[in-house]
Amino acid sequence: MKRTVFRSRWLPYALVLPQVAVTIVFFFWPALKSLQLSVYRVSPFGDRSTFIGLENFRTLLADPEYYQSVLNSFVFAAGVTGLSVLAALVAAGLATQKIRGLSVYRTLLLWPYGIAPAVAGIIFLFIFHPAYGVLPYFLSFVTAYEFNWLLKGWVAMTLVIVATAWTHLGYNIAFYLAGLLAVPASVLEAADVDGAGPVRRFTAITFPLVSPITFYLIVLNMVFAFFESFGVIDAVTKGGPGHATEIMVFKLYKDGFIGLNLGSSGAQSVILMAMVIVLTMLQFRYAEKKVTYR
Amino acid sequence: MRRRLSPFAPPLAALALLSATLLGPAPALAKTEIHFWHAMTGQLGEAVTELAKQFNQSQGEYEVKPLRKGSYPETLTAAIAAYRQKSHPHIVQVFEVGTQTMLLSGAVHPVYQLMKEQEIPVDWKGFIAPVVGYYSKDGNLYSMPFNSSTPIFYYNKDAFQKAGLDPNKPPVTWTQVEEYSRKIIKAGAAKCGFSTGWPSWTMVENMHAWHDQPFATKRNGFDGLDVELLINKEFGVKHIGQLAAWQKEGVYSYGGRAGAADPKFVNGDCSMYIQSSALIGGFTRGVNFQWGTAPLPHWGAPYKKATSIIGGATLWVLKGKPAAENRGTAQFLKFIADTPQQMWWHVNTGYLAISNTAVKNLEEGYHFVRNPNQYTAFAQLTGLPPTLPPALRGGKPAPVKPERVATPNSQGLRLGNFVQIRDVIEAEMENIFAGKKSAKQGLDDAVAKSNQMLKEFAAANKQ
């Protein structure tokens, strides 16, 4: 790697300063604030707060609903990550074939990423809602099966997973497209000459070569599913039925901003933060070994 | 309402803007601004804007500026955040479940006190008792009732006719609701019998009040903070258990929380519906079949009868504003409580008129004869007979003896963390309706969880 040498001693610091400032204001400061909130019992208007130590954590950890939300988060994150990364790989693979109208096709594939999660949620509502959705309406002509995710928890979970994965598909496809196009044609042609079929070529050459991208996307999608999937859940199920789709970040929002229980909400965000940090570290520690960097 | 802009409007507006910047603010702009944050959308939002406009034109000193801040919870959260930054509005609209939170917040300027300070006489006795009672503490009104509603029973007259039922005889008891539902489904007049909006509000909170059953200890929370819920007793288990059994057969069809089930009634899937009286206006415009309203169904003996509970929101005055501005706030609140504005608000939004004089004027003007659905809500809340008695048919109304009275069980609910408690109850209702839990088990779990939240609230608000 080429080393950049600055003449001035202060210039490099000045250049990273804006980035550091942004990180401090938008990450460290709120993180410290939640850490502080998590050990207090705060009245809604914030005029009275009592230091209660780890009481908020104790209450949370004794609450079966909280464990349910942790479990939901993992199911949700695994579902969203698996589905959107896999589907993106397949779609990107297809979009690197020699077909007519390729650029149009590629552009269309990237579109869903431009749609805000909440809007995507509303679109899915209009398709799948038991009372006014298009799909249940047409289904009712052919089958008596009621597509009622208002009461069936697993159907609701599947629905929010698919909707969230869909919103993130375009982003993943963009990365895979770039990765797949960078796979040297000469290597693939050589394998072809040696008699490797398309499946073998993919598993032996293409997939290892895009593995850094896969790894990056898995980490990113996981974090995305844990933190930023709020919009879809809020628009489609609001955590219901029961608590079937209440993932950690949604419960945190609900307890803090609707229930005005800021202490518990702070404790929840501390746990969530710790969890995602650990998860990302584990991924880097173990999964990265299987990644081939060029 | 859509206004047509004249083709000259944009250039004129630009000119006005230009002159404003050149000449500086005109003296007319020096009015004291009163900020009012609310959560009303669509036609209701327009009505709020119109009300503020009427007030601004009625006097020259103050200018009320209404601003929509999102849903009820979002408006409350925004007001709290602003209060902590000392940039809060003068008035904020808070839904009924936030009442206890506001009362104990230490951030409000009680309305009765504000009026006394400003020496604006208001006859609090002239307001409908169940509405004022919900928002009073020790007999003093803390927030100004603004939009009040109550759940009522809606039914599809066309479907009734198709099923061979008398469209002018809605069911009175729950047994009849079941019987009619079966007839309607059998005749193919609808897919399901009935559905509900705001599940906890209509099916748990109001059903307990309607049958004179306690919802919580300490007179539903009015007498103290160490409260426990009582919804897992005989009545609650019976009613919710019955709904779960009906859900399996299609007699009842659960349609989600808040207004999510509205389409089930509007598109004819379910022929009966229990939802807020505030929807009368929306249904009048948006429903293309004949429909009517009736009081909520009752289980009959041995349960007693009481009135239903109100829902909706009130206006809270926040502390920390100069006295001169508080004067404007007080005048605005007085303005919306006055009879002409009360009548205007009721007719234009469907929310209840809450002053007795306004109600009397409406009666004299044959309003209830022309709007029987509005009467349903009013009668249910005040205990009047379900069909308009001749004495109230206009001209010179005579007093009518109420059929039912408000009891400690039906005066309302005052619980801390009520927003979360409603959420807990509704989540458990979903578990029960999905067959995951028995009615007893689900309600026991809801009570246990809610009691813990009530305890936390009491601890956080201990002085």
- Reduced 3-state DSSP string for B124-154: HHHECHHHHHHCEECCEECCEEEEEECEEEE
The answer to whether residue A233 is domain-embedded is yes
Model confidence band, residue B14 (pLDDT cutoffs 50, 70, 90): very low
B193 and B134 both lie in a single domain:
no
Q: Does A259 touch chain B (CB under 8 A)?
A: yes
Q: Nearest to residue B346, comparing CAs of B316, B376, B367, B330?
A: B367
The answer to whether residue A254 is domain-embedded is yes
B115 and B229 both lie in a single domain:
no
**What pLDDT is stored for residue B325 in this prediction?**
94
B349 and B227 both lie in a single domain:
no
**Mean of all residue pLDDT scores within chain B:** 89
pLDDT (tens digit per residue) in B226-244? 999 999 999 999 999 999 9
B182 and B300 both lie in a single domain:
yes
pLDDT (tens digit per residue) in B30-83? 789 999 999 998 888 999 999 999 999 999 999 999 999 998 988 998 999 899
The answer to whether residue A35 is domain-embedded is no
The answer to whether residue A20 is domain-embedded is no
- Tokens representing residue B199 in the block: 């599940």
d(CA B416, CA B77): 16
**Exposed, middle or buried, B276 (CB in 10 Å: 0-12/13-18/19+)?**
buried
Helix (H/G/I), strand (E/B), else coil: B421: helix
**What pLDDT is stored for residue A1 in this prediction?**
52
B44 and B112 both lie in a single domain:
yes
Nearest to A45 among B73, B84, B420 (CB): B84
Q: Nearest to residue B294, comparing CAs of B174, B147, B191, B131?
A: B174
Count of other CB atoms within 10 angstroms of residue A19:
9
B75 and B58 both lie in a single domain:
yes
**What pLDDT is stored for residue B2 in this prediction?**
40
The answer to whether residue A250 is domain-embedded is yes
d(CA B125, CA A248): 48
pLDDT values of chain A reduced to their tens digit, one per residue, 294 residues: 566 777 888 888 999 999 999 999 998 999 999 999 999 988 888 778 889 999 999 999 998 889 999 999 999 999 999 999 999 999 998 888 878 888 888 888 888 888 888 888 889 889 988 878 888 888 878 877 777 788 889 999 999 999 999 988 999 999 999 999 888 888 888 988 988 888 888 888 888 889 889 988 998 899 889 888 888 999 888 888 989 999 999 999 998 888 888 899 999 999 998 988 888 888 888 776 766 665
The answer to whether residue A62 is domain-embedded is no
How far apart are the CA of A79 and the nearest CA of chain B, in angstroms? Answer: 23
CATH at B222:
3.40.190.10
d(CA A91, CA B388): 66
Q: Does A260 touch chain B (CB under 8 A)?
A: yes
Most confident of B22-26, B270-274, B349-353: B270-274
User: Which residues in B have their CB inside 8 Å of a CB on A?
Assistant: 73, 76-77, 80, 83-84, 101, 104-107, 247, 254-257, 260-261, 263-264, 267, 269, 417, 419-420, 423, 426-428, 430-431, 433-434, 436, 449, 456, 459-461
B135 and B187 both lie in a single domain:
no
The answer to whether residue A86 is domain-embedded is yes
Give, rounded to a whole angstrom, the gap between the first and last alpha carbons of chain A: 14
- Pick the more confident residue, B442 or A194: B442
The answer to whether residue A198 is domain-embedded is yes
**What pLDDT is stored for residue A294 in this prediction?**
55
Q: Does A67 touch chain B (CB under 8 A)?
A: no
**What pLDDT is stored for residue A12 in this prediction?**
87
CATH at A218:
1.10.3720.10
**What pLDDT is stored for residue B259 in this prediction?**
87
Q: Do A131 and B267 touch (CB under 8 A)?
A: yes
Q: Do A241 and B420 touch (CB under 8 A)?
A: no
The answer to whether residue B230 is domain-embedded is yes
Contacts of B216 (CB under 8 A, 6+ apart): B227, B228, B229, B230, B413, B415
Please state at what angle helix A29-37 crosses helix A262-286, rounded to 10 degrees.
120
Model confidence band, residue B17 (pLDDT cutoffs 50, 70, 90): very low
The answer to whether residue B199 is domain-embedded is yes
The answer to whether residue B405 is domain-embedded is no
- Across B137-171, b (16+ Cβ under 10 Å) vs e yields eeeebbbbbbbbbbbbbbbbbbbbebbebebeebb
d(CA A251, CA A237): 13
pLDDT (tens digit per residue) in B237-281? 999 999 999 999 999 999 998 888 999 999 999 999 999 998 888
Q: Are B426 and B199 in contact (CB under 8 A)?
A: yes
The answer to whether residue B131 is domain-embedded is yes
**What pLDDT is stored for residue B5 in this prediction?**
40
Q: Count of domains in chain A? A: 1
d(CA B436, CA A82): 29
pLDDT exceeds 60 at position B22: no
Q: Tell me which residue has tokens 């059903």.
A: B207
B35 and B143 both lie in a single domain:
yes
The answer to whether residue B158 is domain-embedded is yes
B192 and B259 both lie in a single domain:
yes
Nearest to A45 among B83, B257, B269 (CB): B83
Share of chain B above pLDDT 70, in %: 93
Task: Report the number of secondary-structure helices (H) and strands (E) in chain B.
Answer: 21, 11
B101 and B243 both lie in a single domain:
no
The answer to whether residue B215 is domain-embedded is yes
Tell me which residue range forms the domain holding A86.
71-290
Model confidence band, residue B95 (pLDDT cutoffs 50, 70, 90): very high
Give mean pLDDT, residues B90-115. Answer: 93
Sign of CA dihedral B198, B203, B208, B211: positive
Share of chain B above pLDDT 90, in %: 64
Tell me which residue range forms the domain holding B81.
29-149+311-356
d(CA B310, CA A157): 35
B97 and B225 both lie in a single domain:
no
B422 and B281 both lie in a single domain:
yes
Model confidence band, residue B11 (pLDDT cutoffs 50, 70, 90): very low
pLDDT (tens digit per residue) in B384-402? 888 888 877 777 777 788 8
**What pLDDT is stored for residue B15 in this prediction?**
45
The answer to whether residue B142 is domain-embedded is yes
- Tokens representing residue B354 in the block: 């809450």
Q: Which residues of A touch B269 (CB under 8 A)?
A: 131
Q: Nearest to residue B333, comparing CAs of B70, B142, B180, B205?
A: B142
Radius of gyration of chain A (CA): 23
Q: Count of domains in chain B? A: 2
